[in-house]
């Protein structure tokens, strides 16, 4: 499936040679793990649909994720120099073009969603609304805002969870919701709670990697959270308590995916794979 995602991303993003397109391709086509589109396809399959009907929405979500990384790395945000094993976009094309490339990928994602020909109007509209809400201020943008406002501060657990649910769980939940909607089912609270916990576990792991892994393995700077005095799970709980909380989330997720429909083994295997990642 990952090959299908890579091929479709390449097909969708224009091959025009103006700088804005070149910059967008630089980030979008660099080697991401593609977990969001993979989750979207696996969820559609779980609910009995051909996963390929949701390929374009899955690619649109990856575009939104990529834009969020481009902006996240800008000097006015996390000021990072390395992403997906390569210099960050602004290091190559400058801050202003990186800002525009992010804007373009976000806008283009909604064009791709609107153009999806494999889904009916009703499903498409529900998917567009879901993605807009999850990527917006009630979701990812809201989490990123808390992240910025928390720099250099000691935040409490409630604020940390709100931040992680926004910046990471929201888009992962959108993937599950879009997969379900594409198969003709309104997302269930069970599915949404899997998205929420998967996002928390994912971000806890990301915070742990930043503190304990290496730049070479991660393809992005290790140790940067401490350097920038970011509020993270590790800064709040410490390494071993964060690992324990991650274990609790893993066990809870395991109970939840057992309740998925009988076609859900692919999604469960994917979630397990995501939880065991090393970068």
Q: Applying CB under 6 A, which residues contact ligand IPE?
A: 32-33, 35, 65, 68-69, 72, 78, 84, 140, 144, 167-168, 203, 206, 210, 220
Shortest-Cβ-distance residue relative to ligand IPE: 32
Taking contact as CB under 5 A, which single stretch among the options 60-68, 71-79, 96-104, 269-277 is the one that binds Mg ion? 71-79
- Closest approach of Cβ 22 to Mg ion, in Å? 23
Find the part of the chain contacting Mg ion (CB under 5 A) among 77-85, 134-142, 168-176, 269-277: 77-85
Neighbours of 161 (CB within 10 A): 16
Which CB sits closer to Mg ion, 58 or 146? 146
Residue recorded with tokens 């910025």: 148
Q: By C-beta, is 60 or 146 nearer to Mg ion?
A: 146
Closer residue to Mg ion, CB minimum distance, 56 or 78:
78
Q: At what angle do helices 35-46 and 265-275 cross, to 10 degrees?
A: 160
> For 257-265, which contacts have Cβ atoms below 8 Å and span 24 or more sequence positions?
257/194, 259/190, 260/46, 260/190, 260/191, 261/46, 261/47, 261/48, 263/45, 263/46, 263/47, 263/48, 264/46
78 binds Mg ion (CB under 5 A): yes
Residue 197 within binding range of Mg ion, rule CB under 5 A: no
Query: Which is nearer to ligand IPE, 135 or 183 (by Cβ)?
Result: 135
Task: Pick between residue 53 and residue 160 the one whose CB is nearest to ligand IPE.
Answer: 160
Minimum distance of ligand IPE from residue 28's CB (angstroms): 10
Q: How far is the CB of 218 from ligand IPE (least distance, A)?
A: 8
Distance CA 268, CA 275 (A): 11
SS3 content of the chain, % helix, strand, coil (to 5): 75, 0, 25
Contacts (Cβ under 8 Å, ≥6 apart) of 171: 36, 61, 64, 65, 68, 134, 135, 139, 140, 199
State the binding partner of 84 from ligand IPE, Mg ion, none, CB within 5 to 8 A by kind. Answer: ligand IPE
Dihedral over Cα of 43, 174, 157, 232: its sign? positive
What is the smallest separation between the CB atom of 67 and ligand IPE, expressed in angstroms? 9
Q: How far apart are CA 252 and CA 258, in angstroms?
A: 10
Residue 228 touches which member of ligand IPE, Mg ion, none, C-beta under 5-8 Å by kind: none
Q: Which does 33 bind (CB under 5 to 8 A by kind): Mg ion, ligand IPE, none?
A: ligand IPE
Q: Could you tell me if 259 and 190 are in contact, meaning their C-beta atoms sit under 8 angstroms apart?
A: yes
Please, which residue, 74 or 125, has the CB nearer to Mg ion?
74
CA gap 81, 86 in Å, rounded: 8
Q: How far is the CB of 155 from Mg ion (least distance, A)?
A: 14
Residue 207 lies near Mg ion (rule: CB under 5 A): no
CB of 48 to ligand IPE, least distance (A): 27
Question: CB within 8 A of 136, min separation 6: which ones?
Answer: 142
Residues found near Mg ion in the complex (CB under 5 A): 72, 78
């Amino acid at each position: 499936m990952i090959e299908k995602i890579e091929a479709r991303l390449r097909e969708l993003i224009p091959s025009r040679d103006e700088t804005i397109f070149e910059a967008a391709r630089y980030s979008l086509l660099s080697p991401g793990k593609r977990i969001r589109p993979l989750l979207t396809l696996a969820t559609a399959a779980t609910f009995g649909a051909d996963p390929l009907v949701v390929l374009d929405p899955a690619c649109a979500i990856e575009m939104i994720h990529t834009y969020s990384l481009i902006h996240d790395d800008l000097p006015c945000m996390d000021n990072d120099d390395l992403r997906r094993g390569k210099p960050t976009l602004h290091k190559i094309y400058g801050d202003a073009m990186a800002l525009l490339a992010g804007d373009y990928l976000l806008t283009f994602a909604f064009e791709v969603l609107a153009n999806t020909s494999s889904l009916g109007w009703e499903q498409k509209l529900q998917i567009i609304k879901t993605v807009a809400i999850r990527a917006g201020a009630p979701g990812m943008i809201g989490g990123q805002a808390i992240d910025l406002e928390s720099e250099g501060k000691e935040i409490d657990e409630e604020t940390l969870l709100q931040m992680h649910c926004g910046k990471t769980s929201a888009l992962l939940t959108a993937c599950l919701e879009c997969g379900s909607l594409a198969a003709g089912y309104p997302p269930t609270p069970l599915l949404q709670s899997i998205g929420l916990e998967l996002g928390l576990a994912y971000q806890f792991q990301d915070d742990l990697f930043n503190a304990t892994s290496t730049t070479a393995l991660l393809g992005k700077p290790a140790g940067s959270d401490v350097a920038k005095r970011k509020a993270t799970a590790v800064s709040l709980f410490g390494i071993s308590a964060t690992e324990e909380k991650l274990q609790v989330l893993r066990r809870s997720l395991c109970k939840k995916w057992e309740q998925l429909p009988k076609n859900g083994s692919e999604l469960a295997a994917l979630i397990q794979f995501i939880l065991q990642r090393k970068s």
